Every structure is written in C-alpha cells, then in structure tokens.
Amino acid sequence: MGTRGSALALAQTGTVADALRAAGAEVEIVVVKTPGDLSDAPIAQIGIGVFTSALRDALARGEIDVAVHSYKDLPTAQDPRLVLAAVPQREDPRDALVARDGLTLGELLPGSKVGTGSPRRAAQLEALGLGLDIVPLRGNVDSRIGRVRSGELDAVVLARAGISRLGRADEITETLEPIQMLPAPAQGALAVECRVGDVDTEHLIQSTLDDSASRAAVTAERAMLAALEAGCSAPVGALADVVEDLDDEGKVVYRLSLRGVAATPENDLLRASATGDLTEAEGLGRALAAELLDLGAAVLSGPEA
C-alpha cells in the first residue's frame, strides 16, 4: 500500500491498512516521495497533480497495489490505468480555525493576520467583510499551526479532518459552518485506488471500506468541480449531505443535498444549492455547476490547464 510520507498521509494510510488487516489481509506500507513534498512553491504554481501523480505512477507500474489519497488532492480526471475501489466513511468535511488565545473568526479584529494558501478559503474569508489580512501559507499541518504558536499569525484555516487525523482537534478554536465557508469538494474523504484488472484487490477494498453515502456525496461535489473546469487553485467549494425528505405519500426517502460556491471573473462569490436523487449524484453536481455558470461564474482553469 503506497502513501506519501507526510504525517497526515501516514495517519490516513494507517487507518486504511488497519481496516484491511482486520478483514484478514496482509498489508505492507510503502512511502512514495512526490514532487509536492519536495517543494515549498504555491500549489497554483506547481500544479494540482503534484501530490498524487507519483503515487499513481507507482501503482500503475505494479510497485504498489493500493494507493491511499486525500480525495480532494486528486485531479478530477479519472486515471484510465486505475480504479477508485473505495471511498471510506468520510470525516467531518468542514474547515477549522486555529487562532491565538482561543479566538473565533468573529472575535478577530480588523487587520488580524490569517494564514491560508487556498484561494477558496481566502475568497470566502474576504467575503465575510471582517477586514482580515489574508497571508499566503503552505506547508504541512504542523508547520501551519506553528505559525500561530510563534505569534507570526493570529490564525490559520485548515481542514478539520487533517487536524483531527493527527490527533490535534483540541487546538481548533472554531469549526467553520458551511454557510460561511464551504469546504473543498471531497474534503475530509479518502480515495483508495487500485489497478484496473486487479479484481481481487478491488473487491476486497470495495467490500471492506466503501461507504455508499460518502461516495455519493463526493461524486456530486467533484462533478460540480469538473463541470466548472476548475483546478485546485480555483475558489470553488462544494458540500453534499444525505438528507431525509418525504415523498408524495409522506414516506421517508433519502436525497442528496448539494451546496456550491464559485467566483465571477470579478472575484465576487456566487452561492447556489440543489437537491437530487442519491443515484444521480453526478447529474446533480453538473446541474449545480450549470446554475452557477448561468449566474455568471467564471469558467476557471487550474494550473494544469
């Protein structure tokens, strides 16, 4: 099983390996170095595939049989050599604030320095009109939180899932509600890939790990992202939830509710939402993207396009 070498990647891979071992599989973990781990340049410069393509190549070549990725780091195009064998039960998808002195977003004074390298987080923070000073930031979870500890920044915004997988959820000072801050499509979810044709591995992983509600939700979010042709550096957020609804006869049915945010060419944020059938997650994502485009969302191109 291949993984990046970061503490977060190792923690995520360890969880997946443990679940497979509990199902009777023998698992060996192999660390694969990726260009994304070796560079400090902004993601917008080095491209969206930097964290995942080395792992995918090693899998396609047969050096490893399974790759575990943070789903949101994967490019939207499916690699034809590989199959997405499982989307395990997703963690809390929301973003989180780690601020000095236990502060929340609303308690930060105008001019406070808030670190994030994500155009999506920066655009949504700006839209709150709090007068925050958004400071570009990259690096692993530990070093980002370290910039607050050192007093250099008043706060940083990170994925809650990453912080909690590292056992540091107690350092979060506020979990940001999606109505203010929509997460990246597929944030908090893992993608477990294997080789096309390796049906035994695919079946083991799918039957042991796949969670259909998580898969439906991220499928809708990623379909929206793909239809906006946005790369990871574009300010696009999306979050789908499985919700209870009533049909015409008053019977409880489960539906997929999707919310999305995208920017106009002038960098104003547009928000929209839609509900659809659980079995039509992809169509729901595409429909919401079409609505955002109708409202004036920019057709964005990522660093790879």
Ligand X SMILES: NCc1[nH]cc(CCC(=O)O)c1CC(=O)O
Instruction: Using the CB atoms, write b or e for 81-106: b if 16+ within 10 Å.
Output: ebbbbbbbebbbbbbbbbbeeebebe
Residue nearest ligand X by beta-carbon distance: 162
CB of 62 to ligand X, least distance (A): 26
Assess contact for 116 and 134: CB atoms under 8 A. yes
Residue 270 and residue 82: Cα distance in Å, rounded? 34
148 binds ligand X (CB under 6 A): no
Residues 5 to 24: which contact ligand X by CB under 6 A?
Answer: none
What is the token pair recorded at 122?
């920066």
188 binds ligand X (CB under 6 A): yes
CB of 81 to ligand X, least distance (A): 22
The number of residues that bind ligand X (CB under 6 A) is 9
| Choice between 70 and 76, CB closer to ligand X | 70
- The amino acid sitting at 172 is I
221 binds ligand X (CB under 6 A): no
CB of 237 to ligand X, least distance (A): 12
Beta-bridged to residue 246, according to DSSP, are 252
Residues 64 to 103: which contact ligand X by CB under 6 A?
Answer: 70, 72-73
Q: DSSP letter for 150, please.
A: T
Catalytic positions, written as ranges: 73
Residue 175 and residue 253: Cα distance in Å, rounded? 29
CB of 70 to ligand X, least distance (A): 3
Assess contact for 180 and 120: CB atoms under 8 A. no
By rule CB under 6 A, what string of x and - marks binding of each residue 168-187 to ligand X?
-------------------x
Please report, as ranges, the residues that interact with ligand X according to CB under 6 A. 70, 72-73, 158-159, 161-162, 187-188
